C-alpha cells in the first residue's frame, strides 16, 4: 500500500522490504510431514 503522488509524504516512507516468514506453532501430524516432503520433492 502506497500513498499517491499528491500526498505530502508520498516518497518519504522508506521502501525497505523485510521478509517476515510465518512461524510454525502447531505440531505437524505424520501425514502432514509426508505430504510436505513429497510436495518439496515434486516442487508443487
Residues that bind other proteins (CB under 8 A): 1-4, 6-9, 12-27
Cβ 36 to other proteins, closest distance in Å? 14
Q: Report whether 9 contacts 1 (CB < 8 A).
A: no
Nearer to other proteins, 4 or 42 (CB): 4
User: ∠27-30-34 over CA atoms, to 5°?
Assistant: 115
CB nearer to other proteins: give 24 or 41. Answer: 24
Q: Are 23 and 16 in contact (CB under 8 A)?
A: no
Q: Closer to other proteins at the Cβ: 3 or 34?
A: 3
Amino acid at each position: 500500500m502506497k500513498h499517491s503522488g499528491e500526498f505530502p509524504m508520498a516518497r518519504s516512507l522508506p521502501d525497505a522490504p523485510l521478509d517476515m516468514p510465518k512461524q510454525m506453532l502447531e505440531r505437524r501430524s505424520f501425514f502432514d510431514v509426508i505430504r510436505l516432503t513429497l510436495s518439496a520433492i515434486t516442487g508443487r
